[in-house]
Amino acid sequence: MSSTAGNWFEGRRFMVTGGSGFLGRFIVDGLAARGAAEVFVPRSREYDLRDPGAIERALEAARPDIVIHAAAVVGGIGANQEHPGQFFYENAIMGIQMIEAARRRGIEKMVVVGTVCAYPKFTPTPFSEDDLWNGYPEETNAPYGLAKKMLLVQQQAYRQEYGTSGIFLLPANLYGPGDNFDPASSHVIPALIRKMVLAQEAGDAEVPVWGTGSASREFLYARDAAEGILLAAERYDDPDPVNLGTGDEITIRDLAETIRRTVGFEGELAWDASKPDGQPKRRLDTSRAEERFGFRAATSFEDGLRETVDWYRANRPV
């Protein structure tokens, strides 16, 4: 880290919503490593960010210069299908109210973490930020993706009318140590790791896997995502949204095989084509992040996956 970066972080106070969550913990660790003057993490049991009064109390307690809004209600395809209304309302209302409260308080910069789910279902790959509005998102996660995308509109509108400094980032699918391994709400990587570790220990002959395996995804190690967010917080101040990713993609079938090898599970994969595949393809154009604030993902997928499997084995409930 350069002295310039250190000086910028050392002189500022931060509030990180979702700072005790999966991505948020990496952001908070990154701020500490950079010597941030003070980092405040509003816990949901004390500050319900759906409540504007709670947001005001959090901002009063933190008195931040920079707000990084990483709080979100998230889940895999099944959770999105089961709770589309909740995912839309809670993600929209938390962000809308946070951005408005930050505007009223004259916060120096608002950093909003969006989602790759905001992209249209049939976006040409690699996904360019310029294609963000060229269609409707994939149906299974459209309410979540659109709720997050409205925060981009709000940031741009506020910049235009009030002159506020707000940026919007679009990370690829995240994974890494500390991920959510709950079978009811986890994303594909932790879900498959859990299934295969448990199947290996039980001596099962096969593991069920949703869909056909033909869809592709891009995965970003959570620590790399946090690095991109902090680089953007320091160096970027334009209205244009920016992708955070690796620029690489893998089919779900190849992903499942890679996880099987990493775990050491020797059984079969039983594909259930009655379950949805989700968006057909996801791969991001990552050139804007590199050009505008110097971000490139540093962790290879093999290394990140191995660390994630090792973390789950060491930390899962017995």
Inter-residue contact 304 to 148 (CB < 8 Å) = no
The pLDDT score that the predictor gives to residue 264 is 96
196: Cβ–Cβ under 8 A, 6 or more apart, which residues? 207, 259, 260, 263, 265
Active site residues: 144
The predicted model scores a pTM of 0.93
Closest residue by Cα to residue 154 from 98, 227, 236: 98
Q: Tell me the mean pLDDT in the region 218-228.
A: 98
Q: pLDDT at residue 6 above 70?
A: no
pLDDT of residue 83: 85
Helix 301-315 crosses helix 252-263 at what angle (to 10 degrees)?
50
Q: What is the mean pLDDT of residues 94-119?
A: 97
How do 216-217 and 66-69 pair as beta strands? Answer: unpaired
- Three-state DSSP class for 138? coil
Residues 6+ apart with CB under 8 A from 314: none
- What is the predicted pLDDT for the residue at 1? 37
2 — pLDDT class (breaks 50, 70, 90) = very low
List residues bridging with 208 in a β-sheet.
Answer: 270
Average pLDDT, stretch 6-26? 94
Q: Give residue limits of the domains in the chain.
A: 3-177+218-249+280-299
Joined tokens for residue 171: 């990370």
**What mean pLDDT is predicted for residues 196-208?**
96
Q: Which two tokens stand for residue 316?
A: 């899962």
Pair 173, 187: CB distance under 8 Å: yes
For range 58-81, the mean pLDDT:
89
What fold characterizes domain 3-177+218-249+280-299? Rossmann fold (3.40.50)
